[in-house]
Structure 1
Amino acid sequence: MSQNRHGSRSPGEHDGDYDAVVLAGGAARRLGGADKPGVRVGGRALLDRVLAACADARNTVVVADPRPTARPVTWAREDPPGGGPLAALGAGLPHTTADRVVLLSADLPFLGTPTVKGLLAELDAGTADGVVLTDPDGRDQPLVAAYRARPLHGTLASLRTEHGGLTGLPLRRLTAALNLTRISDPVASFDCDTWDDIATARARIREHGHVLDEWISAVKDELGIDLDVDTGVLLDLARDAAHGVARPAAPLTTFLVGYAAARSGGGPEAVAEAARKAAALARRWAEEDAVENAADGKPGTGPDAG
């Protein structure tokens, strides 16, 4: 493993070599005691959205009572339950073994993998004990952060000794003892504490600029697909099939492309190759139709003709 001048990894190296701890056991009093991790935004539980953001973690620990999740996790619980975020971290951290730990709350609807990778890259680029996200007002969000495991373990051990346990201690007792750096991400730091926050999140993902990516992510989670493909290629294929053949050809063609890619072993390359072949066929189909109609002196017969 290469080292930089600070003795840490080069930025971006071995991004998946980390563990994640997700705190999902709060009382959600501002939601009237609702099951906040299970509240759905864009058809997916908030907890599942956060788990998708750290899907490449070596091990993910969720501190809460067990529940069905879209991805496999390790479950932990503070004793007694409801002891606060510091006690929850103290319950989850012993289940981790990586040198880097990403700590997340379960109410972050817009957290994505790029933000997690950004936190880890910033951690690797320096010597700080941790990197925390800040919200639009510049306030620290220590539950959207990446930490080095050794100082995290050491500080928790010191706090246990000093206070006889971690129950009820505020999280600032931890962060005040650590050397932290900060990066800003006003979107990823948005958390859902109230029903107004939930409504805002639901409205945002249905905006034109976000809805397609949100839908594709939701479908992949629902179907258990960890496959990053160029959706632009598939959209172009659907357009070619709809315009050059018939509108119903678009969804059927993209389904057949997926089926063909799966039969050939799957993966982004298989999808791209199947899409390329189908798109070429759709163009040949349309060109042939145009030639025949020109010879007959007829207008085109495609779905947009006339």
Structure 2
Amino acid sequence: MAEQLGPTAARFTHADDALTVLDPYKRQSMSVVTGFGPTNAPTAGTLSVMLGIVELQRRLGAPMTVVISDLGAWNSRNVPWQTLLQVRDQMFAFLVAIGLNPDGAELRSHLDHANLVRAGRVARYLSRADFQEHRESLLELYADHGLLGSETGVVVDSLYTVADILGPFEGGAGDVLMVSGVEESYFTDLARLVLHRQAGAGDLSLGWQGGIGALYFRVLEGLAGYPKMSKSIPASSIHLNMAPAEITDRVMRDDEASQAPLLSAIELSSGWDATDITRAREAFADRLLRPGPWRQARREYCRSFTQFAETWQWCTR
């Protein structure tokens, strides 16, 4: 995979049949699908994925669909509608500002007639048991924090996203590469079920053919011991709506549970080159004997993340 993706490959921890669709002889008919939830300003974890998507677009040069899941998030999370719309539009502008080429990507939301129709058409191939078997691993965590919408809403959100993944087949693509966090792998599983079942449905088939591969980004661990840096759990993250003083306060805390996640944040969401990242790794490894260099690395990361935060704020204009 390193041959196809180059340095970008280091951003991924899991591949699921990705090499098949990345085969150079098949790449001409491949489309990439990815997306983001607009529940809040991007955390360092979301920023790491956004930077990875920009790198992937440059590396592959394949058609790409980037979905901001406004309607899906409305159904699956307890966030006001106007907040979702505001963050959605800001995300579109921010992705372009950090380097995504809009000429090579379709940027859309779930307020898309074709995708809503497609979601309605694929629903017949899935059962309630399918959604119970293939579900997000962090649902219980979100439920404990009062963040989830209704059970039906979570299913509806899944249908929209499955339709997102399958969209390129409707347009004639030969293969799809799904790119997401590993906690969202269940979307890929559900899309494959639909693709397989409709192919064997006779007169009820949609006529879609091809394969689905997946690449899963490295999950950015949450601060303070949380398993993931999540927009929905403020204590777990730093995000782009924070003021510089807030970013500094969170990054410069010395609690041991946050130190490894902060190194991961530097590796994935700083925008630094390989030399600077190597220097930060060395400072982290030696932090107990020589705390100064690690504190300096974190200060520099504060500046880098603050620059992204300033770009995010500029995208409200």
Q: Per residue, is there more helix in 1 or in 2?
A: 2
TM-score, scaled relative to structure 1: 0.35
User: Which protein has greater RCO, CA pairs closer than 8 Å, 6+ apart?
Assistant: 2
Larger radius of gyration between Structure 1 and Structure 2: 1
